[in-house]
Each structure stands twice: as structure tokens, then as C-alpha cells.
Structure 1
């Protein structure tokens, strides 16, 4: 990381680079031709930009395999190097529920991207962590060991030291970190169950994940908490941590998450107040409710439980009201696990 890098240093990325394909590149693929013409960038990086729709050939999005004949006008939306731009401290309000010399527990709001990436080079949780905890610049990924989707809210753990990060990663690999989510899913889920289905990149839509035979092992346990109007409130527990895992698995069994813009499909029409609440929600109905782990320094098992965010609570209440349910439901009644010697920290608004 270059600590002297300033925001003005990437002002050159504001305007796309426009090239005319020379005759000597005739017959080459688009990715190969760009690799010859833009030698400052790796072919893999250029290919990623092409796939992300950042390269236009005669005004139309290109494909890495497109064959060129010379004379084409190619516009390349140059993206900043994450190593130089993305990992910069930025002041932001972080909802820190717990911190000590070893770990930080964050309650992530919906809409916050965890890690810089294409289209989100700044304003991420990583940028905020580097500002609040400057020592994290010496820890890979600023101590982040697992992620939540941009529009998923809830609990995350961040390591403050390399040793703590290694221990937490080992716990995640051993599946001893317990992560419980609340999800509102479409339709009536009649019984508890488990989805054991491998997840990989969607074969036709690269921005999506899917259950595919060549994917990585993925296991999600789900438990019915309450039947709502046209929906079900379920608790999901992860054994593995694949990208979009709960969203993909619940859609796979015919119960996509409410308001999920990617995997939700076309939901059945509901009562007007329910339809309005779903439109106002504008994100997948998923909240990381409970997190348990062995503290890297003390060796003691600790658990954090967070309240439902306001938007989730409002949607849940609308669905409960439309189903004619009473309002004496307690969101803490769902957790019937015996915590034993676990230190439980309830986080209240």
C-alpha cells in the first residue's frame, strides 16, 4: 500500500481512454489486443473490465472473445488499482458493539459495502475501519475475515491483529463460528430443514451465484419461526460461507428472500399494504442476528445478538398484521440454544 497516494492521484480515471484499433491488431481477440495496446494493465485486469461492461467497441459493450478487424473505436473505462486507491482511510460512523485489543464486533447497516471492488472503490467498511483503527493497515484486508452482502445487515467480526485473524479464519474453516440470520422468505415454509447444495458462479449470468455441480460445498440449516402473510420468517444457520449462500439456497428450494432484487423472481401479488411495504424495503430481507465465536485471546466462547434494524422490523410487523397475528411476539424467543458457559452480549437500540 502506498501511504503517499492522494485522491487527486486517480483523477485520470474520470474519463474513459479512447483507442482506435490499429491494422496490426486485425484478427486478434479484444482482450489480447487491449493487452498489447494498454501495457500498463494486466490482461486479467483488462478482461475483468470487459466483462464488467467497462469496454465499448464502436459504442457497444464488448466481449473478451470479440474478434477485431482494425479501425474500431474502443472506449476503456480505466478503473483505479485497488492496491493504491481502495485501501485508503475514510471517516465514517461505525456501529461498534464491542472492541478489545484483539477483535472488533461491527453491526453493519444495510447499504454498506464491506470490501472495495468494481464500482465500489471507496466508502466501504474497510475504508472506515482503516480510519478508526490505523493499525489495521498491517493486517490483510484490514482484519476482515468474513463478509456480508451490501444490503444484508447485522453482525460481523474484525480481527485487530494478524494472529487473531489467523485464529478466526481457522474457526471459520472448522465451522466453529456460529452465524445465525433472520430471513423473511416468500411462501409458506412448512417445516425445518437443511440445504446441502454446492454453490458456484452462475453459468450464464456472472453477477449471480447458483447451485451448480461444479460449485463449492455449501450447507445452510433453516428453522421456521413464524408464518406470515404470504411469507415465512425463518432462522438460517450457516455451516459454510459462500457468496450469497442463504439467498441462493432459499431460492433453490422455492422460497427466495422477500424483496431480493437478484434472486427473488416475481413474487405473488399480496394485499396492497404488503406490496407497498415490500417496495419500500428495497433490499433482500436478511439480517445477521447472532454471532458466536471463541475469543482469540481469552479462549472463551462469546456470543453477540443484535436487534432487528428498523426497516426489517417494519416489514415484519406489516406481514404479521396482514396475517392477523397479535403483536406480543418477542424476537428473542426464537433462540432456544443452551448457551452454557458462553458470555452472551445482547445489543439493544
Structure 2
């Protein structure tokens, strides 16, 4: 008994010590569980990478904010890709996106005289303000405080940063002779904005003494629709593409509409040379080519009787075609396309002098 007792006592003591040690070990030492969570951590890391890639890809999207609807007219904005093949553009009128917008397009005719309705928030360093205006200087209020306010211009002028012409003349893919549509009138004119002080009104009052001019539009008490306008212009041999004011490059849809519909435009606007910057000189008749409205009327009557001379004004149509430039949305898409290619800094310090002189 004594021998067995002596052997059992050390064994019990050893078991007691090991038990105490094990208790202390599990109370104060926590084994690593990384093996348990590593698949989850890999999944989270993968999702974060995907998010980063998505964010990075979105950085290539240019946001264009339209600050004012031009003249209050609303239109679809999500057309850059579907209608004009301009990708990577988000055009919006949501002012909550101001701080994220790369370009803010501001229509001049909607700016308050004291500039109080312009953005009041601080301009982000990457953002450019784009001045949009398709009116001539005489119909655009000259506002103080515009110098150094804008970074870019979107205008009909050739020296504008973003060209906003009223029409385009482009080469045809295939050459073919053009046959003008049948005509039953000699001279037509459609006008809504009438002022006896306009050069075009004075010229018309003289011209009508020598040749019959079919007149339409609000100025003459018969407002017409777009379809009616197209039908009228097509039916006339000559259309008076008279601008309401005469300024460099100010050549509006009145000119391009006649060209596109197969009618010879008789133009009153900037110089012949200025027109020839946009189209061949044998496609139109300029009032400055004649000493007076009387001589112009005589020439139109001559062309009416001479089909060969008349059709010479359509020789350009064998190689080219004319189109209206497009709606407001097209110009916003063009602004986006410009910003995708140009990220250099620019400020227009002599803006007032540039446009109003």
C-alpha cells in the first residue's frame, strides 16, 4: 500500500498541474481564426476591387450641366450616344450635380442683368463654364461682369471654342446630279421678327416694287407650321434668306433651309466672302452683287426665263448636301465631345470685346 500510494501521489500532482496550465492557457490565449475567415475576406476584397474599377471607369464620363433651359424650352438630354454617336456623356439639368459637373452650359439670353441667377457655389477647379449663345450681338444684352467669368464659348462664330453653326454643308459619298423640285412661285419670304428699321425690311420694301414676293409668317399676320414652312420654301425658285442683323459669321437656318430644300437663297447678311467660308459661291445670290434692289429683281426675272442659268445654282449639289445643324441637345453633346478632348485651362479675359467689340 505504501508503495502504491507513493506512485499515485506524483501522478495526481502532475494531472493537477497540467489541468491548471490548460485552464490558464485557454483563458488568456486566443488562437488565430484567419483560416476560418479568409474566404470571406477574399470575397470582400474582390468586391472592393470591382467597385474601384467601376468608379475608375466612370471617371471617363463627362458630365454637362445645363444651367438654364434656353428660352424655357425643354427637350430630351440623353441623346448624345443614340443620335450623335458621342459616347461617355451625361447631359443633365439637375443642379444637384453641380459639384461633379465638368462643364456648366449657361445660355446668355437667360442670364439676369445683375448676374444673380448664375451659380453661387464655388467653382470646382476642374469645371469649365461654357457660354452658349446663338443670337447676334445686337440681340444679346451686353452685361457687365462677364469678362473672365467663362472658360469656353459655344457660338455660331468660326473663332468660337465650340462651333454652334446653324447648318452644315458636307460632301456626298457618291456623286450624282441634283434635280430641283418643281416650283410654282418665283420669290418667297417667311419672317416673324419684323422691324421697319431692319436692313432687310428696307430692302424688301424696295424689292417688292419690281418683283412679286410671296410673304408669310407672323410679321405678315399668317403664322405657319414647320411643315408648311418646308412646303412653301420648296415651292419657290428663290427664297429671301435675309438676316435680322448683319454680323460676322451670323448665317442662320434661313440660309441652310433654302439650300437643303432645293431653293436658291438670296442672302442679305455678312459679306459674300464670309458666306463663301461655308459654301461655294455659285450656290447663292448676294444682294451686294447688285447696285440696287431693282437690278436684283431684273436678274431674278432673267433666271426665271432661263432654265440653264437657273440650274447652274445647283451644280454644287452634285458633290455636297446641306443640313440644318440640329437642336439644342446637339450643341450640348458637342460641348461634351470638346471637353473629352480638351482639359487645358482657359479663361476669356476680353470676352466683352470679342463679341460686342
**Which interval holds the TM-score relative to the shorter structure?**
under 0.3
TM-score computed with the length of structure 2 as normaliser: 0.22
Whose helix proportion is higher, 1 or 2?
Answer: 2
Q: Bigger radius of gyration, 1 or 2?
A: 2
TM-score computed with the length of structure 1 as normaliser: 0.22
| Greater relative contact order, per chain length (Cα 8 Å cut-off, separation 6+) | 2
Whose strand proportion is higher, 1 or 2?
Answer: 1
